[in-house]
Copies of this chain bind each other. A is one copy, B any other.
Amino acid sequence: MDKQQDPNPPPQPQPQPPLSISPYGPARSTIPGTPLTPSEISQYNAFFKASLYLSLGMIYLRTNPLLTTPLSKSHLKPRPLGHFGSCPGQIFTYMHFNRLITKHNLNTIFISGPGHGAPAVLSQAYLEGTYSEIYPSCSLDPPGLEKFFKQFSFPGGIGSHATPETPGSLHEGGELGYSISHAFGAVFDNPDLIALTIVGDGEAETGPLATSWHSTKFLNPVTDGAVLPVLHLNGYKINNPSILARIRHEELRDLFRGYGWEACFVEGDEMGSMHQGMAATLEYCVREIKRIQQEAREEGKGERPVWPMVVLRSPKGWTGPRRVGERFLEGYWRSHQVPLTGVNESDEQRGLLEEWMRGYEPGKLFNAGGKGVSEELRGLCPQGERRMSANPVANGGGLLAKPLRMPDFKEYALTVEHPGGGRLEGSMGNMARFLRDVIANNPTNFRLFGPDETESNKLGAVYEVAKKVWMGEYFEEDEDGGNLAREGRVMEMLSEHTCEGWLEGYLLTGRHGLLNSYEPFIHVIDSMVNQHCKWLEKSLEVSWRRPIPSLNILLTAVVWRQDHNGFTHQDPGFLDVVANKSPEVVRIYLPPDGNCLLSVTDHCLRSSNYVNVIVADKQPHLQFLSMPDAVIHCTKGIGIWPAFSSCPPATSPDLVMASCGDISTQESIAAISLLLDHFPALHIRCVNVVDLFKLISHDEHPHGLTTTEYVSLFTDVKPVVFNFHSYPWLVYRLTHGRPNVGNMVVKGYREKGNIDTPLELAIRNGTDRFSLAMEAIDRLEESGVLKGRGGQVRDELRNEQLRCQAMAFEEGVDPVEITGWTWPRERERGLWGERHCD
């Protein structure tokens, strides 16, 4: 028991006097030691200068790459672009870690959190030779260097972040906040891997980054690798100081102790002592990582270790001019981006730049013959795949990635003897058995992620084979269904950002996974998913990038069943965000029942280079398709369901009742039944959409139907009542320009907050069976089929709706439960044979 009772009077803490936390001066290091010889220090100075020269060259130079002639305006890019500020610190870290890679034969990737400082990683890839191996025209000689410089942040060239074109990168940066969660994702189940991860002090202010430090509570030192974060306190963001660079030193130390890390500080700008400090510190960190792993792996130490990390405080734009005229440059936000902005206009600034760049001694870059990087520099780089720029792990796992060993999803089929009838079954709970066996079959390269919702989302069956990873402390009650273990396959932390970041890191290194989340809160990671889509799309254009397993997002706790949590939990709009992304990389599925959910999930887990979104309810449901029918339907993605139609598929119907989404489909089919109860002669066609992009033109998306195909389903003249899971406008948008859209009414969710039963919510939106049937009657009257015959039926439907409304209000249950409705057995299998989908 942790006794804190203090018999003394309450403490009266005095605010401590501010401490200078300047990045200047000789190195102050937590870890002492001088492991480098003077000759090594001289080598690192040369390497640092070469790297910094390359960084400035990328930002400024179009020609004259080695400054063999005096710098003139014609050598400069007309509009220099890029970020210099964070480059020196990143390079400093990278090159000093290379020493340890070589010394200990380490398997390491480099994650550049700031990302914007791409010259840091590009310069290293160039010096290591990887860049020229991948892009031969950027050869290791002056013409190659000129190309390497010119292409940077230039039209037709490469971006100013660590984009997919960057060898060794799996994290672009640009949008900040995900470096640590990506790093953890990369090292899960990669026990020998170290992710050396630069966290900018700007990035460190973001929410996603601030909570991701807690990832250590989910990292098992036996089965996982290690993340070595380097918090880079360069002090400034675009135009502001950073918070962590301006708090008391003790606060910073305590903050990381609190997060569970041991921060080793290296602070200063004096070159010789900084080299020694960084070398000693990184050596210490590597030894600590090895000690922790050894104790866990060989001695069975089970508790969560305190992992080492580095805090590097060095000036922003380090080694640049401290002042230009009256203005601070180095060590200030003015060096964030292009340090000297007037080089094209001002001879003085151009002179300054030239002097600065020549100070880095570009002549020493290449061998005497001008071919290849000089031996002195090259000698400091690791070899082959040990180069961080060439580590295959960062290339989608490269040859390391393995397809999943998939159980046959058809073996988990729900029996559907009576389509649309029989018992209500939980599609999600059933699919959980499939997911369980996917996990069991792939014990080292599949994980399930979720923000504390896996059980709530009815996926608890997975715990039969795999627990939730938990490196925190254990209590007695954990035995009672806690499902916690140090080795597990389910990752739950109440941070969608961290879960998504882990999963992305896991996928980007060639493994597989699925994120499950409540539908409304998936918007929390809109921006992350956007960025991942962009990474994927860009990667498709990079020939040497291997495909990576798809990002699978399973959304449940859907809008139509939010009676309890109400309005704040109603938002099906993530689909709109995803639909805006490139058709090459996004897929959206709304399986209408349990067997379709199995088929779709199987398909998504086998795919690569996509973001797949699956939307499915977790409550009990009527089931519609047998497994063979579900496979056919999901393979086509859209189709007529003859079993719920009242005319053969080839016949022109009076009305198309279309639906997309499981609850929407149930109501649409119930509406068909109501219509046929009253108008048995009506020719109604039931159309179901499982793959949302079938609706869009095939010119716009590879899954899109041709016009002929579209018309064969939706006709070119008949009324269509479309019941949609999400906001109705998404269907309008997807079908824009299609024939017959003028005859289509789409019902879906609209914002109007009340505490309602599911039925009440549906009625308000016109998505319940009664409203849909009444809407159809209106359309049929308009089209002349039911001229004047709808009135009385409409009244009957309205009365029945009111009756159910009252019952639902009293009992708080959903319409299927109220009415006990099922698709009538006498209509089973339709009028024309066996098939339930077409």
A829: chain B residues at CB < 8 Å are none
**Chain B residue nearest in CB terms to A537:** B753
Copies of the polypeptide in the assembly:
2
* Complex Cα spacing A521 to B527, Å: 7
A4 in complex: contacting residue of B29, B211, B239, CB < 8 Å: B29
Does chain B have a CB within 8 A of A272?
no
A736: chain B residues at CB < 8 Å are 729, 732-733, 736, 741
How distant is A434 from chain B, measured CB to nearest CB, in Å? Answer: 21
* Complex Cα spacing A537 to B10, Å: 47
A579: chain B residues at CB < 8 Å are 729
Answer whether A812 and B79 are a contact pair too, CB < 8 Å, given A494-B202, A494-B203: yes
Does chain B have a CB within 8 A of A256?
yes
How distant is A751 from chain B, measured CB to nearest CB, in Å? Answer: 4
Does chain B have a CB within 8 A of A398?
no
A31: chain B residues at CB < 8 Å are 6, 10
A568 in complex: contacting residue of B28, B174, B742, B811, CB < 8 Å: B174
Whether the Cβ atoms of B20 and A1 lie closer than 8 Å is yes
A28: chain B residues at CB < 8 Å are 1-5
A6: chain B residues at CB < 8 Å are 30-32
Whether the Cβ atoms of A174 and B565 lie closer than 8 Å is yes
A359: chain B residues at CB < 8 Å are none
Interface readout for A211-247 with B: 1 if CB under 8 Å, 0 if not? 1101001000000000000000000011111110011
Does chain B have a CB within 8 A of A588?
no
Whether the Cβ atoms of A32 and B18 lie closer than 8 Å is no
Whether the Cβ atoms of B566 and A161 lie closer than 8 Å is yes
How distant is A283 from chain B, measured CB to nearest CB, in Å? Answer: 9
Whether the Cβ atoms of A752 and B582 lie closer than 8 Å is yes
Interface readout for A150-183 with B: 1 if CB under 8 Å, 0 if not? 0001111111110100000000101111000000
Does chain B have a CB within 8 A of A306?
yes
Which residues from 227 to 275 on chain A have a C-beta closer than 8 Å to any C-beta of chain B?
A: 237-243, 246-247, 249-260, 262, 265, 267
Answer whether A568 and B175 are a contact pair too, CB < 8 Å, given A258-B255, A812-B79: yes
Whether the Cβ atoms of A207 and B205 lie closer than 8 Å is no
Does chain B have a CB within 8 A of A411?
no
Whether the Cβ atoms of A257 and B260 lie closer than 8 Å is no
* Among listed A88-96, A435-443, A473-481, A774-782, interface-contacting one: A473-481
Whether the Cβ atoms of B20 and A5 lie closer than 8 Å is no
**Cross-chain pairs A/B with CB under 8 angstroms, 17 sampled:** A13-B262, A15-B301, A161-B568, A202-B452, A207-B212, A238-B452, A247-B472, A251-B257, A255-B259, A326-B480, A524-B527, A534-B753, A576-B577, A577-B577, A579-B729, A732-B733, A736-B741
| Given A526-B526, A531-B568, 12 new contacts (CB under 8 A) | A155-B812, A160-B564, A161-B566, A175-B521, A247-B260, A247-B472, A327-B481, A530-B571, A537-B753, A573-B576, A576-B577, A733-B733
